[in-house]
Amino acid sequence: MNSLLTELFLIMGWSALPAWAAVLIASLNVFLIVILAFIARSFVRRLLGAVHQRLVKRTSDLEETKRIDTLDRIFNHIASAVITILAIMFIMDEFGVSIAPFLAAAGVVGIAVSFGAQSLVKDYFTGFVMLIENQIRQGDFIEAGGKSGAVEEVTLRYVRLRDGEGAVHFIPNSQITTVTNRSREFAFAVVDVAVSYGTPLDKAFEVIKLTGDRLQLESDMAGKFLGETEVLGVIQLADSAVTVRMRVKVPAQEQWFVKRRLLSAVKDAFEKIRH
């Protein structure tokens, strides 16, 4: 385009390009670079979207689908950053700003900054490892960095959680040393029941077991149970009651709902016995 516009101006009788013509040509080139950057970003987004859809169709595993969604979002961010940086470099070149000194300076500054930004480098490295090892995915309920909540976003820099009260926590990846993920395959709804010393244990065990089994038959509990109710036995002797533990295998992230229903059902069952 530069050569075509230059020839056009020469045909018009200018032996050398005036300043305004040079600015006009540079501006048109910048406009073209921006348009090409948008086209490239749109193409990459469509390409990643097509790959994402194909991978999702090839798996029926919900956990693997979550991982694919997380990786798709990360690659989209990386592609956007690379295209933006390249576009800025080309625009600077159009206005006669050499990028070589900036690259050299960036190398020197990068070395200096690396000593003072080790935690930032560690954030990105840890985030990359977590993604590769599939430790955390969007939608999981986890405990990490002293916080717990549902994962709303996973990046190479941080993990964003929203807890049960709605508070949002941004946890730098470098601060995550241990991840407790409560969203993998299955979980156990564990309920501790206080039984008075005057109640025969075999009777208490029977009531607890029947209550759990009956709860499974209720319409709103369809698909919430992955096994029979287990009465694990006595786990503690308190001053006024014996603590009996029961548990049920449930789909991941359903343990809290099932636990609440079990507590309510067991309470009602023991009240009926007393009366």
Gap between the Cα atoms of 137 and 131, Å rounded: 8
Mean residue pLDDT of the chain comes to: 80
Report pLDDT for 107: 62
- pLDDT (tens digit per residue) in 193-242: 998 888 888 888 999 999 998 998 888 888 889 988 899 999 999 888 89
Inform me whether the pLDDT recorded for 1 exceeds 80. no
> What's the mean pLDDT in 72-85?
82
pLDDT at residue 2 greater than cutoff 80:
no
Query: Do the two domains 121-181 and 186-274 of this chain adopt the same fold?
Result: no
Q: How far is CA 217 from CA 52, 90, 174, 205, 232, in A?
A: 38, 66, 46, 19, 22
Going by pLDDT thresholds of 50, 70 and 90, the confidence category of residue 153 is confident
Domain 121-181 CATH (choose: 2.70.98.40, 2.30.30.60, 1.10.287.990, 3.10.129.10): 2.30.30.60
Domain ranges, ordered by start, for the chain = 2-116, 121-181, 186-274
Question: Per the structure block, which two tokens stand in for 228?
Answer: 């029979």
- Domain at 2-116: CATH architecture: Orthogonal Bundle (1.10)
More confident residue, 27 or 166: 166
For residues 33 and 274, the model is more confident at 33
pLDDT for 246 equals: 93
User: CA angle 116-120-123, nearest 5°?
Assistant: 150
Give the residue, 70 or 22, on which the prediction is more confident. Answer: 70
Cβ–Cβ < 8 Å for 92, 99: yes
Does 190 have pLDDT greater than 90?
yes
Looking at residue 101, its pLDDT comes to: 65
pLDDT in tens, 250-261: 998 899 999 999
β-strand partners of 196:
241
SS3 string of the chain? CHHHHHHHHHHCCCCCCCHHHHHHHHHHHHHHHHHHHHHHHHHHHHHHHHHHHHHHHCCCCHHHHHHHHHHHHHHHHHHHHHHHHHHHHHHHHHCCCCCHHHHHHHHHHHHHHHHHCHHHHHHHHHHHHHHHCCCCCCCCEEEECCEEEEEEEECCCEEEEECCCCCEEEEEHHHCCCEEECCCCEEEEEEEEEEECCCCHHHHHHHHHHHHHHHHCCHHHCCCCCCCCEEEEEEEECCCEEEEEEEEEEECCCHHHHHHHHHHHHHHHHHHHHC
Give how far the C-alpha of residue 189 lies from the chain's centroid of Cα atoms, to the nearest Å: 24
Model confidence at 263, pLDDT cuts 50, 70, 90, reads very high
The pLDDT of residue 189 is: 92
What pLDDT score was predicted for residue 188? 92
Q: What pLDDT shows up at residue 12?
A: 53
- Could you tell me the fold of the domain covering 186-274? Alpha-Beta Plaits (3.30.70)
Q: Tell me what pLDDT residue 122 has.
A: 79
Q: What is the mean pLDDT of residues 96-120?
A: 61
